[in-house]
Structure 1
Amino acid sequence: MKSKAVAIVLIISILSCEASRILFMNPTFSKSHTIPLQALAKILASRGHDVTFVSPFKLNENVQNYREIQLEVSAESLKNFDEFSKVMSESNPLGVLTVATKTIFNLGNETLQSTAIRHLMDTEQFDLIVVGWFTNSFLVGLADHFKCPSVVFFSGSLFSMLHQMVGNPLAAADAPHAMSGRKEHSTFYHRLTNFFFYAFDVLVIRNYFNYRSKVVYE
């Protein structure tokens, strides 16, 4: 009787153990933001999950259960990225905001409109979407399309948009903003500077990016 019970439990366990189909969406020009996400995807693939990774950067090795869809970057997006690199070197905050928005959203829109991704959306189904986030919150809309949960992955520091997305209370004076730098011992001046960075983030950057996200999503 005991052996039958063990056999039944074993059969149920085997039948209930199914690999998940996971889609990684990472349309970015940043190789450094892609590497940790590829590492996570490789681990999941090695554990038997069916992984599809969408990115401009290819993984230079063969991994079982790991499929790549390499994005073709248009000449316009490459031009935007060159312009973005230039304004970054000039330390021009307003220029960085304008050009970064154009760069990120053009590439994101190209990704959603590409033949490969449209075919993926029309013919396949996934159990989980992992979005390589860099203010491109509109990509989370893919989870609604596939009717599955989503995970947002960001290897940088905190932005108010991330706090808003996950419903985390915003500690504007305490949590270091991405643009204010990290300090081992925060002085009053640093905490005040951090607060103003968050204020600009909430009042200007978040609303601007939310507007651009809505345009792309619609």
Structure 2
Amino acid sequence: MCVPAMRVWWLVMVVVLGTQESLGSRVLMLTPIAFKSHTIFYRALDKALVEHGHEVTQVLPFNNSAASGVRKVVLPLPNINDVMSSVFNDGTIGFMKFSSKVQSEICMAALTSDEFIEIRKQQFDVVLLSEWLCYG
């Protein structure tokens, strides 16, 4: 049975934030394919995690104004906003083909970047993945 994405996010929120007694965890947020508008959600999530004593590392393709106390790792990737700016001119099918291709390329670049390889060597208690991470 497929669980809708929103239910998964609520489950993550309950598990990570649900107990005040929990010790601070090391949290890795992987968001290498993110539109700037999506970072509003991530900013709220990383702020809440830091406020609850967690150590947060966020991997993203551009420098954003993350919450204070969040370690940011900016990958040298093309900004999805720039890449996708004209894709809607080709209609829905063109968008889907291009979107899948771009996501795969950005995903491969992210997973093979020196910055990400260094992150993989570290230990984290929880990993939160973007809904756009490498499913194409």
TM-score range (shorter-chain normalised) is 0.7 to 0.9
Residue 54 of structure 1: which of 32, 44, 59 is its match?
A: 59
Q: TM-score scaled to structure 2, two decimals?
A: 0.73
* In 1: Cα distance, 2:40 partner to 2:75 partner: 16
Is the contact made by 1:46 and 1:63 (CA closer than 8 Å) also made in structure 2?
A: no
Taking the TM superposition and a 5 Å limit, the aligned residue runs for 1:36-115 are: 36-60=41-65, 63-64=68-69, 66-73=70-77, 77=78, 82=82, 84-88=84-88, 90=89, 92-115=91-114
Is the contact made by 1:81 and 1:103 (CA closer than 8 Å) also made in structure 2?
A: no
Change (3 A) 1:83 1:58: closer
Change (3 A) 1:19 1:56: same
Cα deviations by residue, 1:6-32 (Å, 9 ceiling, x for unpaired): xxxxxxxxxx84210000000124101
Q: TM-score scaled to structure 1, two decimals?
A: 0.48
> Which residue identity lines up with residue 69 of structure 1 in the other structure?
V
The answer for the alignment partner of 1:165 in structure 2 is none
> Which residue identity lines up with residue 86 of structure 1 in the other structure?
S
Residue 36 of structure 2: which of 17, 28, 31 is its match?
A: 31
Cα deviations by residue, 1:98-153 (Å, 9 ceiling, x for unpaired): 1101111111111110101101112x11111111112633xxxxxxxxxxxxxxxx
* In 2: Cα distance, 1:86 partner to 1:25 partner: 26
Q: Structure 1 unaligned segments of length 5 or more: list them.
A: 1-15, 138-208, 210-218
User: Identity percentage over the alignment?
Assistant: 28
Structural RMSD (CA): 2.3
Cα deviations by residue, 1:26-69 (Å, 9 ceiling, x for unpaired): 012410112211210111012110100000232336612x1000
Q: Structure 2 unaligned segments of length 5 or more: list them.
A: 1-20
> Which residue identity lines up with residue 55 of structure 2 in the other structure?
D
Aligned length: 116
Is the contact made by 2:46 and 2:67 (CA closer than 8 Å) also made in structure 1?
A: no
Larger radius of gyration: 1
* In 1: Cα distance, 2:128 partner to 2:66 partner: 21
Is the contact made by 1:25 and 1:53 (CA closer than 8 Å) also made in structure 2?
A: yes
Greater helix percent: which structure? 1
Is the contact made by 1:83 and 1:99 (CA closer than 8 Å) also made in structure 2?
A: no
* In 1: Cα distance, 2:38 partner to 2:54 partner: 22
Cα deviations by residue, 1:57-91 (Å, 9 ceiling, x for unpaired): 32336612x10001112xxx46x865632121x25
**Local SS of the residue matching 1:24:** strand
